[in-house]
Amino acid sequence: MKRLILSAALVLLPVAAMAQGLPAITMTESDGTTTYSLSFQIVVLMTLLTVLPSLVLGMTAFTRIIIVLSILRQALGTQQTPPNQVLVALALFLTFFVMQPTMTQFYDEALAPYLDGQMPADQAIETGTAIIKAFLIENTRQNDLMMFQQLAGDGPYASQDEVPLSVLLPAFITSELKTAFQIGFLIFLPFLVIDMVVASILMALGMMMLSPMLVSLPIKLLLFVLVDGWALTVGSLAATYGVGG
């Protein structure tokens, strides 16, 4: 991934250099470390901003959370309530809450020392990558990781530092999808039972022209409110990552 970012940055460097009238790259070595010019650092930062949405989707808890919330809305049968904007906002804020320990460690051990000039860029990237890898591996199923390891043709890894992001990221996303649908099934099941009971009662009463969904919707909403469903769902999602449990 580091090579990909650097490659994209190198493509944009001539444009930045012409605009600023500065050399594209100036590397100075001191005490065995390498520093890059300001124009190069700006281009790298702009490149990172373009891939930030993909990073949020693929390297954080956002995928699991948004899928579970979408399945919950489908189980309630409330169509577009809450609207998509509200679900995405809730998923983002919950993602920030879940990722706070990892992001705090990332800032303290990688970003802050780099900004203070106490750590070179390559070492900061290596340290930050190791922190992100620790979170990804902790929340990735071993079977999924082994599957992509075999597909890539790599041997067994002696430590988590040896796991490449090209193997870890698809394994993490696959694991998140599986976990999200498992949680979604457990959430959907009680609402499905309510729909079936209401449909059976209406059929026994001969009210076949009345939609069961129309009758079961207020019952499901009442049950969901009585058990404080939103707090229970959000808290359970956070607890699956070892936060708030």
- For the stretch 56-106, pLDDT in tens is 777 888 989 999 999 999 888 887 888 889 999 999 899 889 888 888 888
Domain interval for residue 124: 51-239
CA distances from 206 to 200, 201, 209, 233 (A): 10, 9, 8, 36
Both 31 and 147 in one domain: the answer is no
Residue 244 lies in a domain: no
- Length of the chain in residues, anyone? 245
Query: Number of structural domains, the chain?
Result: 2
pLDDT in tens, 164-188: 888 888 889 999 999 999 999 998 8
Q: What per-residue confidence (pLDDT) applies to 112?
A: 83
Residue 112 lies in a domain: yes
Both 42 and 55 in one domain: the answer is no
pLDDT in tens, 123-148: 888 888 888 888 888 888 888 888 88
Both 76 and 28 in one domain: the answer is no
Q: Can you name the residues that pair with 30 across neighbouring β-strands?
A: 33
pLDDT > 70? residue 234: yes
CA distances from 45 to 29, 76, 241 (A): 21, 42, 29
